[in-house]
Structure 1
Amino acid sequence: MIAILERAYPIRLAESWDSVGLVCGDPDDTVTSVLCCVDVTDAVVDQALDSGTDLVVAHHPLLLRGVDTVGTHTPKGRLIHRLIKGGCALYTAHTNADSANPGVSDALAGLLGLTNLRPLDPKPAEAIDKWSVFVPADSAAAVREAMFDAGAGEIGDYSHCCWSTSGTGQFLPGAAADPAIGERGEVTEVSEDRVEMVANRRVRSRVLTALRTAHPYEEPAFDLIEPAPARGDEGLGRVGELGEPMTLAAFTTRVAQALPTSAVGIRAAGDPEMTITTVAVCGGAGDSMLATARAVGADVYVTGDLRHHPVDEHLRGGGPALIDAGHWSTEFPWCQQAADLLAGAVPGLVTAVFSQPTDPWTIHRSGQ
């Protein structure tokens, strides 16, 4: 189960300050049922234990900042003890789920009807190496397979990816050489293949060891190139387009109808009659990316936890319209995404979403 979650929401995507992964439980335990939620609360634990759930998958970390006790005299410690005693594990996917593709903001964008999605704040694509290996034609298959086994040749959902061409190699073994082909002091020509493939840079040492071990030559000839970094399809937030333009007022109504109801409600800042086509979204607290939303040319930015002064300054500076839909409401759609992911990956797995708001705000009054 952990492997499935970490393929979808890689740990490498988590921010340095974050705490993600298994919080409590045995990684080797069998999981037959999962409950997905935004926050771990008493009500969530009640439902998990009452239903015999084996694993709670939460978005917000229960244990984030410095913790020196999980005693039952503390609110968080009490929940941890209840989960452990009830045989229920807890796993957190937080900023890694925010930046994953698909992740938190994809779920939000999907409910709002956005298409042509791309990251609002893209992360660099994982660093890769480009390998070109020169090998006798009759040994090329063995070298390719060894490099594949070491992790090379993987592009997205494809493996064993490479490109080859044939040519003639030449070398002159020196007096101390021990050539596999040819003789010392004689120029030798060999029919060789040039085999090219990419590999994630983190497996470089494994690929090099595999290449040298499988290659028949005493000194294999190869090129190792570090391509220029590129932007990836992972990162915080998403930008997309509406199928048809609409006014800010109409789009705000769409947001209110699409997202779950919470006491925070939906509020918008901007001209109600302005035309909306390009939309930026970021589940959770997104005021750190107000300038980014302006830079990508969004007409409106949908997020949560917006504050008075940053919003006022943003609008005065010509930024896009803003919709504050609340922290919990903009992240809640991810729960169904996570539940569907696990159900699709594990036949027979029972999944559920804790649908009651865990937003700490419980009352809203308009004052009218």
Structure 2
Amino acid sequence: MFAKGQAVIQYMEKLAPKHLAVPDDRIGLQLGSLQKDIQNVLIALDVNDEVVEEAIRVKADLIIAHHAIIFRPLKHLQTDNPMGKLYEKLIKHDIAVYISHTNLDITEGGMNDWMAEAIGIQAGIPLNEEHTEQLLKLVVFVPKSHHKQVLNAVLDAGAGAIGNYSHCSFNTEGDGTFLPGKGTNPFIGQAGKIETVEEMRIETIVPHGIRSKIVQAMIKAHPYEEVAYDLYPLDLKGRTFGLGRVGRLEQPLSLVDLVEVVKQNLDVKHVRVVGDLTRTIRKAAVLGGSGSRYVSPAMYKGADVIVTGDIDYHTAQDALMAGMAIIDAGHNVEKIMKAKVAEWMREQLHSGRYETEVHVSEINTEPFQFL
């Protein structure tokens, strides 16, 4: 059995929830339909003509990419210009395109964690905080006979996370009363007669971003026709998410030695470097994509170097004067996501017993040549 398009995307959004994306980021389904069976998925960094030809060769029904193919609202769709031809080819071959961008950068176990791990950063924290989880308290009342069923449903859906602990809850016994009205079909009792039932009160923490998923799981597992529950905000901070990572290296390295680690582990042949190559690097920052705006936050958090891409001339000059090292490995180092996302997706599809195949794009979309 092949996975439906929406099922594939649910797996992707489990890895990189959409609510983590920065405002106005162009993410989600950008072209095509998910209302179909997906026999083949292609994971790519960018979507250009070569990647689309590759998708056609592998018979992909869906491309999951990091960089958007539609950046601004379209005023027209002309098929005699390069982007119009690209859209036309995708539509003619019924290939949908889904984008996971800053949400994949920010999520725990996503782009910036992969890059941090590759260069040896330990226990990295966000370089620039973008999103702090709002926490809610869920209270639900359930008959004792179905207590474990409902409790497991909400906890397995993601409720009950406190720091590095999961499946946290508090459960108390009590008596619930209700009077089924006319036309009801109560699970316990009968219409027109007041009923007293031994019930359990379940209390747990719910992250705001997945509240709907948790409530749906709770209602599905609950035996009552009308579920009695409360969901209210807490004056507590949940997890903090952000772009980039900063932390100590596994072992101190000279800047020149760290350059070699970056080149080898992020698969780049050339980098641009700012700073004294002999200096010792103990704490490093990393940020996939364009990093000029994040050099100062990296300095503020005590990093000796930032590994990123697309550093402009004046930012490099300012960093040099401030004693901050930079390794500009280019924007294309984000290609690390291709194999990582494919590995994740294969595991999820396998667990769902789907036959959908996942392919890693072999196209090098680096636009620059180094001579």
Tell me the TM-score normalised to structure 1 length.
Answer: 0.78
CA distance in 1, matches of 2:335, 2:231: 48
1:323 to 2:327 alignment:
yes
CA distance in 2, matches of 1:146, 1:292: 44
In structure 2, the residue matched to 1:310 is: 315
In structure 2, the residue matched to 1:346 is: 349
1:272 to 2:277 alignment:
yes
Cα gap change, 1:46/1:166 in structure 2, threshold over 3 Å: closer, same or farther?
closer
CA distance in 2, matches of 1:294, 1:322: 11
In structure 1, the residue matched to 2:93 is: 86
1:236 is paired with a residue of what secondary structure?
A: strand
In structure 1, the residue matched to 2:335 is: 332
Shift of 1:230: 3.7
CA distance in 2, matches of 1:87, 1:236: 34
Shift of 1:337: 0.9
1:17 maps to which of 18, 24, 27: 24
Shift of 1:240: 3.3
Cα gap change, 1:22/1:124 in structure 2, threshold over 3 Å: closer, same or farther?
closer
1:247 to 2:254 alignment:
yes
Q: In the alignment, residue 68 of structure 1 is paired with which amino acid? A: K
Shift of 1:323: 0.5
Q: Is the 8 A contact 2:20 2:131 kept in 1?
A: no
Shift of 1:231: 4.0
Tell me the TM-score normalised to structure 2 length.
Answer: 0.77
Unaligned runs of 5+ residues in structure 1 are 170-177, 182-189
CA distance in 2, matches of 1:168, 1:36: 53
CA distance in 1, matches of 2:255, 2:248: 14
Superposition pairs for residues 165-314 of structure 1, below 5 Å?
165=172, 195-201=202-208, 203=211, 224=232, 226-232=234-240, 234-261=241-268, 265-314=270-319
Q: In the alignment, residue 341 of structure 2 is paired with which amino acid? A: A
Cα gap change, 1:167/1:4 in structure 2, threshold over 3 Å: closer, same or farther?
closer
CA distance in 2, matches of 1:50, 1:224: 51
CA distance in 1, matches of 2:77, 2:20: 27
Query: For 1:53-80, what per-residue CA distance to the aligned partner results, in whole angstroms no more than 9, with x for missing partners?
Result: 2221111100011212232123222111
Cα gap change, 1:141/1:29 in structure 2, threshold over 3 Å: closer, same or farther?
same
CA distance in 1, matches of 2:29, 2:103: 13
Percent identity of equivalent pairs:
32
Query: For 1:233-285, what per-residue CA distance to the aligned partner results, in whole angstroms no more than 9, with x for missing partners?
Result: x32111233222110011112212222336xx201111111111221100110
Q: Is the 8 A contact 1:9 1:93 kept in 2?
A: yes
2:288 is paired with a residue of what secondary structure?
A: strand
Shift of 1:359: 2.0
Q: Is the 8 A contact 1:124 1:229 kept in 2?
A: no
Q: Is the 8 A contact 1:98 1:283 kept in 2?
A: yes
2:109 is paired with a residue of what secondary structure?
A: coil
Q: In the alignment, residue 335 of structure 2 is paired with which amino acid? A: F
Number of residue pairs matched? 336
Shift of 1:294: 1.1
CA distance in 1, matches of 2:349, 2:200: 42
Cα gap change, 1:111/1:63 in structure 2, threshold over 3 Å: closer, same or farther?
same
C-alpha RMSD of matched pairs (Å): 3.6
CA distance in 2, matches of 1:259, 1:106: 13
Shift of 1:351: 2.5
Cα gap change, 1:331/1:165 in structure 2, threshold over 3 Å: closer, same or farther?
same
Shift of 1:288: 1.2
Shift of 1:104: 1.5
CA distance in 2, matches of 1:5, 1:256: 28
Q: In the alignment, residue 325 of structure 1 is paired with which amino acid? A: A
Query: For 1:151-209, what per-residue CA distance to the aligned partner results, in whole angstroms no more than 9, with x for missing partners?
Result: 8871359987521246899xxxxxxxx9867xxxxxxxx999664222234648x96x9
Q: Is the 8 A contact 2:127 2:246 kept in 1?
A: yes
Between stretches 107-116 and 148-157, larger displacement belongs to: 148-157
CA distance in 2, matches of 1:289, 1:270: 17
CA distance in 1, matches of 2:321, 2:19: 37
Q: Is the 8 A contact 2:275 2:320 kept in 1?
A: yes
Query: For 1:116-167, what per-residue CA distance to the aligned partner results, in whole angstroms no more than 9, with x for missing partners?
Result: 232222344421123467x7xx946668866886888713599875212468
